[in-house]
Amino acid sequence: MELIFKALEAVRRYPLCDSCLGRLFALMGYGIENRERGQAIKTILHMAAVSDYRKGKDVTADLIALAKCHLPTRRFLAGVGIRVDEEKCYICGDLMEGVEKYAEMAVEQLRGLDFVSFAVGSTLPEELLEKEAEVVRSLLVTTGESVKHEVNRRIGKELLRRLSDKRVDKLRPNVVVNVDLVSGQVKVVRNPILIGGRYLKLGRKIAQAKRFGNVRTTLLEKLAYLRDTFGGEDHVIHVSGREDSDARMLGSGRPLVVEVKQPLRYTAQVAPFRDKDVIFLPVGFTDRNEVRRLKEKAKTDIKLYRVLVLSESPLKQDDLSKLSALSGATVTQYTPRRIKRLHPRKKRVRMVYDVAWRLVSPHVFELYIRCQGGLYIKEFVHGDGGRTAPNVAELLNTRLEVLELDVLYIE
């Protein structure tokens, strides 16, 4: 049997603990722990060698090699007057013995955390990994499991035994138990919770995240209740595009993801939010891919705006009909003066699909603009000193000022 020849060759070259020997043949058999596999292999090697020895064959060298990592063989040799000292495992230095104790340390640190799923990660001494690779290479073993895999698996198994209501989730675990076998420390990482939803801004002077100027409050502040729901240390928001702080966000709202960092609870219910300024409608838990998708989507979204405009010159219905020329226009915009310091002179080209209007009084009119996401609406109206072309002010041959801006709908 090739397995036995290979195992004998392994023991002749290196003293190996039960786990490390068994692991070389991990892919053989089913439902047996490496430790048990290694023990069984050593028992068979022991029986074969002792029986050969009794038949008078010269297997002393093999017996001595095995004795370095096998107590019954040491005892047998002692009985025939050969003393052999036990040696540490060549690969792990006996580190594999009782790695389950780290599960116990982890349970201690997980106390008080309300979570559902976990994963185990580990850091192993570089030397150990090198020696494992050396043994696998020199014996041409193809049936092994990596030591890291065994460590993670065994600690995970022990954790499941101790925390029977939890489950392992390698892709999206609530918490990750990081075991450092170099320092002997266990660290629990609490992964963030991502909540997807949509928000509406019913009031003005509300920024997304940072307070500045005359801003009254922020969306981020309004959503702090989610941080508290999950007992998080902090929260951030990821929004699909943005509107000015003085623009309302109406219609069916704008998609966003709220990220709660380092939560203490993973099972709480997400409640919607509503006050006179902001509505937040949660959709469900989500992941990083959704955040990426959200940011990409903002570039191609079609948006419908309402703008209330003040005109310096009095206007008549006929003047406004000139605006039909803007339906289907391709608009070129250089970075607006108001944000120029953030992004130096960059050119942006966006489509305006439809423009509609309503004269409110000789100096005030309402404008509806359906356009590609990313168009600077205020600049499209007042022209930004010619930095946006074509623009509404130029077409009407007057100075214009934006009084109100609302996002009515994001398609």
Which residue ranges make up the annotated binding site for substrate? 305, 376
Q: How many Å apart are CA 27 and CA 37, to the nearest integer?
A: 11
Least Å from the CB of residue 33 to Zn ion: 14
Widest CA span in the chain? 119
The structure tokens listed for 73 are 């063989």
Closer to Zn ion by CB, 45 or 195: give it. Answer: 45
Task: State the number of binding residues for Zn ion (CB under 5 A).
Answer: 6
Residues 55-94, one symbol each (x = binds Zn ion by CB under 5 A, - = not), give: ----------------------------------x-xx--
Query: What's the CA gap between 374 and 30, in Å, rounded?
Result: 58
Are 84 and 57 spatial neighbours (Cβ–Cβ below 8 Å)? no
Of 221, 219, 169, which is closest to residue 197 (Cα–Cα)? 219
Q: How far apart, in whole angstroms, are the C-alpha atoms of residue 10 and residue 31?
A: 23
Closer to Zn ion by Cβ: residue 18 or 243: 18
| CB nearer Zn ion, residue 148 or residue 265 | 148
Q: What is the phi/psi pair of residue 279, to 5°?
A: -120, 135
Nearer to Zn ion (CB atom), residue 16 or residue 119: 16
Q: What is the rounded CA–CA span in Å between residue 13 and residue 7? A: 10
Q: Does 181 sit near Zn ion (CB under 5 A)?
A: no
Q: Cβ neighbours of residue 12 under 8 Å, at least 6 residues apart?
A: 61, 62, 65
| Beta carbon of residue 75, minimum distance to Zn ion (angstroms, whole number) | 21
Least Å distance, CB 26 to Zn ion, is 13
> Which 8-state DSSP code applies to residue 90?
T
Which of these ranges, 10-18, 168-176, 230-238, 258-266, lies near Zn ion under the rule CB under 5 A? Answer: 10-18
Contact between residue 122 and residue 129 where contact means Cβ atoms under 8 Å apart: no
Q: Which stretch binds Zn ion (CB under 5 A): 40-48, 96-104, 127-135, 283-291?
A: 96-104
Task: Mark the segment that binds Zn ion (CB under 5 A) among 12-20, 69-77, 127-135, 286-294.
Answer: 12-20
Residue type, 193: I
Check binding of 17 to Zn ion (CB under 5 A).
yes
Q: Which of 96, 99, 220, 405 binds Zn ion (CB under 5 A)?
A: 96
Contacts of 398 (CB under 8 A, 6+ apart): 311, 312, 313, 315
Minimum distance, C-beta of residue 81 to Zn ion, in the bound complex (Å): 29
* Given the residues 244, 246, 275, 318, the one annotated as active site: 244
Residues facing 331 on adjacent strands: 350
Task: Look up 244 and say whether it is catalytic.
Answer: yes
Q: How far is the CB of 56 from Zn ion (least distance, A)?
A: 34
Binding residues: 305, 376
Which residue in the set 20, 41, 103, 128 belongs to the binding site for Zn ion (CB under 5 A)? 20
Nearest distance, CB of residue 181 and Zn ion, angstroms: 12
Q: Does 260 bind Zn ion (CB under 5 A)?
A: no
- Of 23 and 46, which has the nearer Cβ to Zn ion? 23
Sign for the pseudo-dihedral over CA of 377, 383, 388, 391: positive
- Among residues 59 and 151, whose Cβ is nearest to Zn ion? 151
Closer Cβ to Zn ion, 38 or 255, answer by number: 38
**DSSP per position, 241-307:** S---TTEEEEEEEEEEEEEEES-SBSSPPPPPEE-SSEEEEEEEE--HHHHHHHHHHTTT-EEEEEE
Alpha-carbon distances of 31 from 2, 9, 35, 36, rounded to whole Å = 21, 25, 12, 10
Question: Stretches 15-23, 132-140, 159-167, 385-393: which one binds Zn ion (CB under 5 A)?
Answer: 15-23
Site for Zn ion in 147-176 (CB under 5 A): none
Q: Are 256 and 239 in contact (CB under 8 A)?
A: yes
CB of 120 to Zn ion, least distance (A): 19
Q: What residues have CB less than 8 Å from 388, skipping those under 6 apart? A: 331, 332, 333, 334, 336, 376, 379, 380
Give me the residues that bind Zn ion (CB under 5 A), please: 17, 20, 89, 91-92, 96
Residues with a catalytic annotation lie at: 244
